[in-house]
Amino acid sequence: MNLEKVVFGFFIVLAATLNFGFFVGDIDLARHHDIYELFAAIVVNLIATVLKFGDRTQIGAIHLSTSLVADLQLIAAAMVWGYASHVAGAGMDASFTAKVVSLSGGALFANVVSVVILIAETIMQRR
């Protein structure tokens, strides 16, 4: 068993599951979406991105691009949350919550694509 591949797969799947945990819930209710789970999803996605930098294959390039998309969307979601909480007068109302959850949904899709690529790559490998 290759420990590097275990760690790589672990962070890819953990990024997807944390993102899914944040995403699930009513789209317009902020109490269904925990800020700390969004933060954890961002951190784990960034770690997964760093782990993808060493691969110079075409599949590695796709892995990196999906990870960068997820990072961008999760960071944008955090920025919207921060703007709503600290700049806008209304706070995290239904419209801001829907924007944050929608952005995390895009990141979730990118994470799912990355997991599917990881599974396909694993199935295609010979022993």
* Domain boundaries of the chain, sorted by first residue: 3-124
Q: Over its length of 127 residues, how does the chain's per-residue pLDDT go in tens digits?
A: 789 889 999 999 999 999 999 999 888 888 889 999 999 999 999 999 999 887 788 888 999 999 999 999 999 999 999 999 999 887 888 899 999 999 999 999 999 999 999 999 888 887 5
Hey, how many other C-beta atoms are within 10 angstroms of the C-beta on 61?
12
pLDDT digits (tens, 9 = 90+) for 59-96: 889 999 999 999 999 999 999 999 999 998 878 888 99
Q: Among residues of the chain, what percentage have pLDDT more than 90?
A: 66
What torsion, rounded to 10 degrees, do the Cα atoms 7, 8, 10, 15 define? 140
User: Cα dihedral angle (10, 11, 17, 20), rounded to 10 degrees?
Assistant: -160
Find the angle CA(38)-CA(59)-CA(105) to the nearest 5 degrees.
25
Q: What do you get for the CA distance between the two ends of the chain, in Å?
A: 11
Identify each DSSP E strand in 17-122 by its residue range: none
Q: Which two tokens stand for residue 71?
A: 């990072």
Q: How far apart are CA 32 and CA 29, in angstroms?
A: 6
And the tokens for 3?
A: 């420990």
